[in-house]
Amino acid sequence: LAKTTQPISMDSYEGQEVNITCSHNNIATNDYITWYQQFPSQGPRFIIQGYKTKVTNEVASLFIPADRKSSTLSLPRVSLSDTAVYYCLVGDTEGGKLIFGQGTELSVKP
């Protein structure tokens, strides 16, 4: 299973764009990249998933370079409620298990 590396923590201010980069050097051909958000004492919540290039939904964008060895989660105009831990996971989508890395603790300040 591909291992992921993310910054342990990041600070931002309300209204700013936040970019969190994840490294996954040994990603396999069949692996997708998925990002989750977790608030204290809650289960992780799906944010976005992609395979290559760029994916955008109503809450975030995911940028994946051609070599797929890294990915960047972009949160536009963050608010205080975006303060959470963000996890980057890499794995196949055929019911395979996903291993969580350390995650990035994002703190948004007023």
Partner 1 sequence: GAVVSQHPSRVICKSGTSVKIECRSLDFQATTMFWYRQFPKQSLMLMATSNEGSKATYEQGVEKDKFLINHASLTLSTLTVTSAHPEDSSFYICSAWPTQGAGEKLFFGSGTQLSVL
By the rule CB under 8 A, 110 interacts with partner 1: no
β-partners of residue 21 are 72
CB 89 within 8 A of CB 35: yes
By the rule CB under 8 A, 81 interacts with partner 1: no
By the rule CB under 8 A, 101 interacts with partner 1: yes
By the rule CB under 8 A, 29 interacts with partner 1: no
Write down the least CB distance from residue 108 to partner 1, Å.
18
The site that binds partner 1 (CB under 8 A) totals a number of residues, namely 21
* DSSP for 10-72, written as a single string: EEEETT--EEEEEE-TT--TT-EEEEEEE-TTS--EEEEEESSEEEE-SS-EEEE-TT-SEEE
By the rule CB under 8 A, 93 interacts with partner 1: yes
Write down the least CB distance from residue 25 to partner 1, Å.
19
Q: Quick one: which of 18, 84, 103, 106 contacts partner 1 (CB under 8 A)?
A: 103
For residues 15 and 78, what is the distance between their CA atoms, to the nearest angstrom? 5
For residues 40 and 58, what is the distance between their CA atoms, to the nearest angstrom? 23
Binding-site ranges for partner 1 (CB under 8 A): 32, 34, 36, 41-46, 49, 87, 93-95, 97-103
